[in-house]
Structure 1
């Protein structure tokens, strides 16, 4: 099976990835911190520094009481407010110190950052949906042989109705529900078969090696909504297929005299024939032709040798029309859909963290900055609409993560200030210090896990 390899020098996609990642961080972090800043000002708290990035600032501007900074490490930012716990405060500034405010004001200031991220996601999704929506219905087009999905009995033509009793509206919802439920045990997927009969496909893969590879495979369990044909959709330049005379639009018929009906069969033939000549029969413009294709040899990370012919399949256009729905909603509809998308993904993220704590979700799904940067580059290369939706997705993740009740995160501070409001006085310094140590340890472990998963996912 051929894969697409860009002929563009590596510098260009690498530069695109870097720029897309930095822009994403600047937008998401700046607006998160601006949420803290604007509510702090509304509440009468003096803000002395607004920084995007960590480290020694390389660009500083003073506006009013606030110093605005850009720092070289683009992995976060902060808003520094007047606070007597962090040093001496001038007598005139005491009424404007953060720690001297009513707990309700502290809660509002702290919550403003993550809530800004969630509202930003609604704005970004709304803008994206205003350009047009492509909805992929939850139909199964292809099932990879020997995959988790194949073992569960999925068949082409299945229409997924629900996952563990939860109704699904599109392909993305169905895939997310199946992947998140996988580690918790058996997953019951209700489907309507191609003949219209009701059936249940049971996924029972928790703890298996295949399940452990799902995160690395971008959540793929062996199901695809589209159908691939044996007509070539692409032939890579200077590939074995091009050298043999094959062209885009050719319909492959047989290999070494054996008729092959599906693209999966052609994939197996090419992959299992590194360096071996294959006599390929194909149809072009209604006429039969033959070609001798000798796939290149490629060595995988585990030492396995596979063949690459340099071809990619064309999609079944009739099936595409069945599963794909494209339309342009009104502005009101677009932002209503954006709100639903944000709340749905936020709840899914909360459920994931809950399952992670109970051992019912794989920690391999946790991603760090390397994976985010890679996704930023890929989405930017696909166009503005894709990049907007990437930004929205990361903004939701950032908002939900910061609302988790872990000290050092905004959610941990919300717990402290809620307790202060209820008790009528702050928690003791001893309790807060213990919480801080726990929070730092938890975040350090989470960061180490994220970097490990990034390296494993991207570099194998």
Structure 2
């Protein structure tokens, strides 16, 4: 893979815009396509928020526009009061039935749910498409789970792991590559687990507890993760590139997407339990900085970052918080159980609470970004 010689700062803005606009476009296109298919009129398709910079109206009456703040985007449906798809109940009440059927709120429950869910689903599909393309074009780097070195004073040394051991299982799950172990332990600091190894002709099961360790990546970014202190090398691990058929590439991409999802949930569980600090949560500044850094490694690396962020944004939008897609789906679940929509007053209060939560999260993440830059 050929690297790009430009500096991270020079690539920061174009790389950030590429990643964000790609993810936003696919997410909102999911809403748009399913909404159109459901017979809901689309008023606006916006890249970004804030004042409009440029735009046009298509033959269906949809305003496509580029807005000044490229930190997201939205689709506004007929009958929505704002970009967060808050229903305009007064305007809806004044519409004749023939027009009301074209609004989002006037659509059948399953059509509304499908339209809302289509955005996050599109993010997962984007990740699978990107990863499949990478695996088909460049193959997948594979390293056998063979230990070449055990760090002194590490959890692995305490557990009795030795160079030459072949890692077989971890907490009962089969280990196929060295990365399987790294991925599993990195999000489980301080959690006791069992690791199965083969040493010569003998199979052993050893108790081990990953240590929470601060590491520094090649760009100088610091992060915390669980470490057990084992290494492999090119010879011991038989490091190689495996070229995958289209079907195998898609399967591997689905598996990798699932790993990102479970890793995200594991990180959230660590935050709740206090095993990890929340200062690793990043906002737009961190995303921009990371995009510029990764872009120096090449376009394929930037595409891989886009896949990871696409899954993260899909998961974020599925959180059951009003104003997010997951909040809307929560309302529809309640509506399905009650047989009628949630009341206007309750929705209004919920949307205000949801907006406060989202803004608080954005402020906290941005604060983390700023402190990491000046720290």
Same fold (TM over 0.5): yes
Alignment of 1:357-376 (within 5 A): 357-359=272-274, 362-376=277-291
The one of 165, 177, 181 equivalent to 2:188 is 181
Q: Determine if the alignment matches structure 1 residue 55 to structure 2 residue 50.
A: yes
- Residue by residue over 1:299-326, the C-alpha shift from the partner in whole angstroms, topping out at 9 and shown as x without a partner, is xxxxxxxxxxxxxxxxxx534xx33121
Equivalent in the alignment of 1:385: 300
> Which residue is equivalent to 2:79?
83
Q: Distance in 2 between matches of 1:361 and 1:168?
A: 25
Question: What's the counterpart of residue 71 of structure 1?
Answer: 67
Tell me if the contact between 1:205 and 1:211 (Cα under 8 Å) persists in the aligned partners. no
Q: Tell me the CA shift for residue 405 of structure 1.
A: 1.6
C-alpha separation in 1, matches of 2:159 and 2:78: 59
Change (3 A) 1:186 1:107: same
Q: Distance in 1 between matches of 2:235 and 2:126?
A: 38
Residue 162 of structure 1 is aligned with which of 169, 178, 187? Answer: 169
Shift of 1:384: 3.1
Contact 1:156/1:194 (<8 A) preserved: no
Residue 424 (1) aligns with residue 339 (2)? yes
Matching of residue 337 in structure 1 with residue 252 in structure 2: yes
Which residue in 2 is equivalent to 1:128?
Answer: 134
SS in 1 for 2:91: coil
Q: 1:374 and 1:225, CA in 2 relative to 1: closer, same or farther beyond 3 A? A: farther
Residue of structure 2 equivalent to 1:93 = 99
Give the 3 Å change call, closer, same or farther, for CA 442–330 of structure 1 in structure 2: same
Q: Map of 1:349-360 to 2, 5 A cutoff?
A: 349-359=264-274
Say if 2:281 and 2:368, in contact at 8 Å, map to a contact too. yes
* Alignment check: 8 A CA contact 1:139 1:160 kept: yes
Shift of 1:406: 1.9
**1:44 Cα deviation (Å)?**
0.8
Displacement of 1:217 in angstroms is: 3.5
Indicate how the Cα distance of structure 1 residues 187 and 441 shifts in structure 2: closer, same or farther if over 3 A, else same: farther
Cα distance in 2 between the residues matched to 1:162 and 1:456: 40
> How far apart, in 1, do the equivalents of 2:188 and 2:268 lie?
13
What secondary structure, in the 3-state scheme, does the structure 2 residue paired with 1:110 have? helix
Task: Give the aligned partner of residue 244 of structure 1.
Answer: none
| Structure-2 change in CA distance of 1:458 and 1:138 (3 Å) | farther
Residue among 351, 355, 359 paired with 1:440: 355
**Residues 136 and 170 in structure 1, CA contact (< 8 A), matched pair in contact too:** yes
Q: Which residue of 1 aligns with 2:146?
A: 139
Question: Can you list the C-alpha shifts for 1:266-309, whole angstroms capped at 9, x where unaligned?
Answer: xxxxxxxxxxxxxxxxxxxxxxxxxxxxxxxxxxxxxxxxxxxx
Q: Report the alpha carbon displacement of residue 199 of structure 1 after superposing the two structures with TM.
A: 4.8
Question: What is the match of residue 413 of structure 1?
Answer: 328
CA-CA distance at 1:153 after TM superposition: 5.4
The 1-side partners of 2:145 and 2:283 are apart by: 29
CA distance in 1 between partners of 2:73 and 2:276 (Å): 30
DSSP 3-state at the match of 2:128: helix
Q: Contact (CA 8 Å) 1:82, 1:93: kept in 2 or not?
A: no
Which 5+ residue runs of structure 2 have no aligned equivalent? 81-86
* Distance of aligned partners of 1:194 and 1:182 in 2 relative to their CA distance in 1, 3 Å threshold: farther
Q: CA separation in 1, counterparts of 2:143 and 2:367?
A: 33
Equivalent residue for 1:318, pick from 235, 240, 256: 235
Q: 1:363 Cα shift?
A: 2.8
SS of structure 1 residue aligned to 2:188: helix
How far the C-alpha of 1:181 sits from its partner, in A, is: 1.6
Question: Aligned residues, how many?
Answer: 357
- Please state if 1:102 is matched with 2:108: yes
SS at 2:222 equivalent: coil
Alpha-carbon offset, residue 218 of structure 1 = 6.1
Equivalent residues of 1:125, 1:389 under 8 A apart: yes
- Counterpart of 1:34? 29
1:168-207 equivalent positions in 2, closer than 5 A: 168-183=175-190, 185-193=191-199, 198-203=204-209, 205=211
Matches of 1:428 and 1:399 in 2, distance apart?
A: 27
Unaligned stretches of 5+ residues in structure 1: 1-5, 228-316
Answer with 1 or 2: which has the greater Rg. 1
Tell me how large the CA RMSD over aligned residues is: 3.1
1:238 aligned residue: none
Residue of structure 2 equivalent to 1:306: none
Higher mean displacement: 409-418 or 421-430: 421-430
**C-alpha separation between the residues in 2 aligned to 1:29 and 1:389?**
16
Residues 350 and 400 in structure 1, CA contact (< 8 A), matched pair in contact too? no
CA distance in 2 between partners of 1:151 and 1:454 (Å): 36
